[in-house]
Structures are given as structure tokens and as C-alpha cells.
Structure 1
Amino acid sequence: MTNDAPLLNVENLWVRFSSRTGVSEAVRGISFTLGRERLGIVGESGSGKSMTGRAVLRLIRPPGMIEADRLEIHGEDVLGASEKRMRRLRGGRVSMIMQDPKFSLNPVMTVGQQLVEALRAHERVSKRDARKRALATLDEVAIRDPERVLNLYPHEVSGGMGQRIMIAMMLLPNPEILIADEPTSALDVSVQLQVLDIMDKLVRDRGMGLMFISHDLNLVAKFCDRIAIMYAGRIVETCKASELRNARHPYTLGLLNSVPDLEHPRERLEVLKRDPAWREAPSVSARQ
């Protein structure tokens, strides 16, 4: 694979759930690629953002079903891979930071035990060497006194530190793709900026691809290189972050107009009026 080739290639991805009352479609025929860049996936709750991230790693459990014309990580077919192979891909080549990551930590294991276990699950390395790698990675994500933090339990760390510990855990096996699902939603503004700075530095220094899932359009516009807007399980618009103001889809325009603007305050924010036709309308690009 060349450096210019996509790290992730998704074509016509569907996620469906069967029940007694019929079939529900959480993700509806979306297509996108991810290179060594920061791609923002934006949409309101229930739009299919998190399902997309989980589907990439084949983490949808029955009765959920994943279908795609193409779903490739580094050119490797995800849907055709064995479960044993997927366990190697997850964490090894692609890592995912779940929502509220601090609560994904095991409460009865120290931070150090969990970091060492995460690395040794993917690499043949001694506990001593794994601990050294863990210390170096904690330092990389701007945790002061990493030796002390390794001996703490999850309830002894703050929300921001817990977030950085989870980022460190996901980065230990040196993945090329990082999927971050609402990684800053539970943090205050100052800690949020610290976490974003860390992730930005990691993408630049390691040449990673980052899929940044969020409902915060302003945040994604400032942080990401490209943006994909999701509505009702579909990507309705894609654009460069710098060209977001040239958006053409009514849903994207509605999101933009409903965000407060401190420089040009309005007496009332626009109420987003949905149109059922948006569900089936073809997606657009702000670059056209």
C-alpha cells in the first residue's frame, strides 16, 4: 500500500437490525475514505455516527447485520476476515475510543495493569518492556508523573486524565487508524482543548488517520481536515472543513444557522425544520 492509498475504504455500507416488527436501518448506504488525515463525522444523536465506527471494526452484535460493497482496512476485506483476524486488526491496526472512555477502564485493575495487558494482547513483549512502552506513551499524551499514574485505579483519576489514559491504551500497539467516538463530550472546555491538542499532535507525528465522531459542528470545523454530515443514517454532505460555510444541503445549512455566533449575535436562533425528502435525497459536496 502506498502512502497515498486510503487507510480505510467504505462503499455502500448498511447496518440493519431485525426485530419482530421488521427491519430498522441504522446506517443506510454510506461511502467514504480515510487517509492520513482528520475526518469529522457530524450529526445529531441517532444519525448513525457511532454505528458507522463500530461497523468498521465489525463490532455490531446480532441481531445487527453489516453489509457493504467494500469495507477495507489497509486494503484488507473486513467482512470476509475471520474473527481471529479481526481480533488482530482491532487495536493492532485500528483502535477505537468509545464514548465516556474513563468508564471503559476496568475498575479493579490499575492503570498500569490495563496498559500492559492491552499491549501484550497484540505483541509478544515482556511485562517489563510493556511497562516501559506504557510509561513512554503516557508521557506522549501529556500525563505528568506517569510512574505514579500507572499505580492508580480508574476511580482515582480525573475525567481528563482518564480520557488521556484511554488514548494511550489505544495508541500502544501503534495503530494507523484511530476512531474517536465523542472523545471530548464529557470534558470541560480547557481539558477538551488539551485532549484535542494531543490528538492533533499524534496525527501529525505518527501519520495516522483519525475518524473524529461528534455532534459539535463548530468543534469539528476547527479541528478536522474534512467533514461528513450524517442525517438519518446517511451521509448527506461532504466537504473540506475550510469550505463548510459553502454547504449546500438544507440539513447542513440548518445546523450552521442553529449554532450561536458570538461575533454576530442574533435575537433568535433558527429552528431546524426537517424534511422527510432529505432521507432519500442524493448527497452533495460543498466543493461542487
Structure 2
Amino acid sequence: MSDPLLDVENLRVSFATRTGIIEAVRGISFTLGRERLGIVGESGSGKSMTGRAILRLIRPPGRVEADHITMHGEDILAASEARMRQLRGGRVSMIMQDPKFSLNPVMTVGQQLIDSLRAHEKLARSECRQRAIAMLDEVAIRDPERVMGLYPHEVSGGMGQRIMIAMMLLPGPEILIADEPTSALDVSVQLQVLDIMDQLVKNRGMGLIFISHDLNLVAKFCDRIAVMYAGRIVECCKASELHKAQHPYTLGLLNAVPDLEHPRPRLEVLQRDPAWREALSVSARS
């Protein structure tokens, strides 16, 4: 891939415990261009850890190591904490899974949007307010001026997720990491949120890392898919070629997807194979 927005080589995340070192991410590599990259896998496979590690949000006793993590050629691991504060939310943003735990319950929506923008740009409060209202309108929130005065507990789950998207996109990042942004939403709201993100990626030329458990959803929404198991990328492919998957773990995930037209008498049990843990990581590069 020429001139990727993000280049990750041999990323490792580990935690020192009383019983030894726990490896959460075991040497994964991938690049991200102006595209939608889906990362899928079961809980504990290292998906969210990967997103947090890119932003250097892993706290002690966690340890992040890599041959390199570069954003437009800038070494993230070598950047100072002050520089990372500029990059987080400025050039790369992350949407957390549940807006109820990401929005400050004692601040209005408007206060939080304005503060997030002023943290990266020196603008008058009135101008920040107008940009925040325009962004709420862009993510399909009705009556954005009224919503600016609401508190997080006064909005629905779907609206809260759209507010989080608006907050993360206000400073104009080039990379958006979405950590299961639709898992707590009903199907109709899921489609609305996905459509909003799809249009923003296309219109702004952004790169999107979409983290999810839902293999079907990722296959329909993303351009490429990386499948994670036990902290490693075991398979990667174009989303349109997911049906050609060959790794037994990916096949097991596909076979576990319910089929309403041809219901199975019982779901297939995915047997854990120790050999998978020892397999070399697949490099998710196009």
C-alpha cells in the first residue's frame, strides 16, 4: 500500500502479573489507508487492546512494544506525551463501545463537544459552538441546538453513539478507530450509525478501523478484514473474499453464524487448537 495513513509492524502488548507475563497482543502487523479495515475475533483476542495500543492508552503494568507504529511517517512510540495529546483526537480518534461510560454525566453535550474542539484548536467559544451544532447535524441528529443543552442521561443509546462520533470527528482526524460502536444498538439504529460512518469515510477520505464481533456486519461494511485469535492475526482478506477463508478459526466463526433459511440442529463447537497459538502472525497488508 503506497503512503499508508498508519503502519503497524510487530505490535506486542503484555502485562506483568504475579504469575508471569500475560501476552494480550502477540506481534501483529497491518497497514491502513483511506479505507475501512475490519478487525474481528472473539472476546479476549486482542482487538480492543490493538486500538488502545495505537493511541498509547495502555497503562502500567501493561507494556506496548513494536518494531514501529508510524502515522504518516511519524513514530508514535517515540512521541512525547505532550505530542500524543495533540495526536489523540486531532489526527486519530477512538469511539469507545458504550457512550454511557464515555460521556461525562455532569456536563451537557454542548460543553463536551466544545471542550473537545478547543483542546485541539484555538477558537472562540461561539465558533466552537457553531461547528459543534453543524457536526451534530452531519451525524443526523434532529434539532442539534436543543441536544447541545441535554445531559448524557437524557439521550438514547443511538443518539449517544452519534454524539460520540460527532465529538471524535470535530477536530477532523484522518484515522478513526471504532471499538464495537454498534453492539449496544438495535438493528435499525445500527444501520443508521454505519451509514453515517460510511459517508464520513467517503466524504473526508478517512481511514477507519472497525472492531467488532459481528463477522457478517464487518463483511458487508468493510473493505478488508483481519481475523484475530489469541492475540494474533491468523487470517486477512478482502471483505468480498471472506467466503474463501481457509484458517480453521475463521471457518469456525463462519459456521457459527445462524442461518435462518437453513437452521442447524446445533451450533458447531469451535475446538481450540494449541497449534493455532504457535502459528506465525499474518501480516494484514494489501
Q: Note whether the superposition's TM-score is higher than 0.5.
A: yes
Asked if the contact 1:248–1:284 (Cα under 8 Å) also holds between the matched residues in 2, the reply is: no
Q: TM-score, normalised by structure 2?
A: 0.97
Asked if the contact 1:246–1:286 (Cα under 8 Å) also holds between the matched residues in 2, the reply is: no
Shift of 1:269: 2.3
Q: Which residue of 2 aligns with 1:98?
A: 96
Q: Distance in 2 between matches of 1:221 and 1:102?
A: 27
Alignment of 1:112-131 (within 5 A): 112-131=110-129
SS class of match (2:23): strand
Q: TM-score, normalised by structure 1?
A: 0.96
- The C-alpha deviation readout for 1:81-137, integer Å capped at 9, x for no partner, is 000000000000000011102321111110000000000000011100000100110
Q: Which residue of 1 aligns with 2:5?
A: 7
* Structure 2 unaligned blocks of 5 or more: none
Asked if the contact 2:233–2:284 (Cα under 8 Å) also holds between the matched residues in 1, the reply is: no
Q: Which residue of 1 aligns with 2:181?
A: 183
Q: Distance in 2 between matches of 1:174 and 1:202?
A: 11
Q: Which residue of 1 aligns with 2:160?
A: 162
Asked if the contact 1:8–1:74 (Cα under 8 Å) also holds between the matched residues in 2, the reply is: yes
SS class of match (1:183): coil
Alignment of 1:122-271 (within 5 A): 122-271=120-269
SS class of match (1:149): helix
Equivalent position to 1:79, from 55, 77, 80: 77
Q: Which residue of 2 aligns with 1:272?
A: 270
Shift of 1:284: 5.3
Q: Distance in 2 between matches of 1:4 and 1:204?
A: 18
Q: Any runs of at least 4 consecutive aligned residues in structure 1 with deviations exceeding 4 A, and if so which?
A: 283-287
- The C-alpha deviation readout for 1:185-210, integer Å capped at 9, x for no partner, is 00011111110000000000000000
Q: Distance in 1 between matches of 2:107 and 2:242?
A: 44
Asked if the contact 1:99–1:183 (Cα under 8 Å) also holds between the matched residues in 2, the reply is: yes
* Structure 1 unaligned blocks of 5 or more: none
Shift of 1:4: 4.2
Q: Distance in 2 between matches of 1:199 and 1:112?
A: 21
Percent of pairs with identical residues: 82
Q: Which residue of 2 aligns with 1:46?
A: 44
Q: How many residues get paired?
A: 285
Q: Which residue of 1 aligns with 2:24?
A: 26
RMSD: 1.5
Asked if the contact 2:29–2:282 (Cα under 8 Å) also holds between the matched residues in 1, the reply is: no
Between 273-282 and 168-177, the greater mean CA deviation after superposition? 273-282
Q: Distance in 1 between matches of 2:53 and 2:282?
A: 23
Shift of 1:265: 2.9
Q: Which residue of 2 aligns with 1:56?
A: 54
Shift of 1:266: 2.5
Shift of 1:22: 1.0
- The C-alpha deviation readout for 1:50-102, integer Å capped at 9, x for no partner, is 00000000000011100000101121101000000000000000000111023
Shift of 1:286: 11
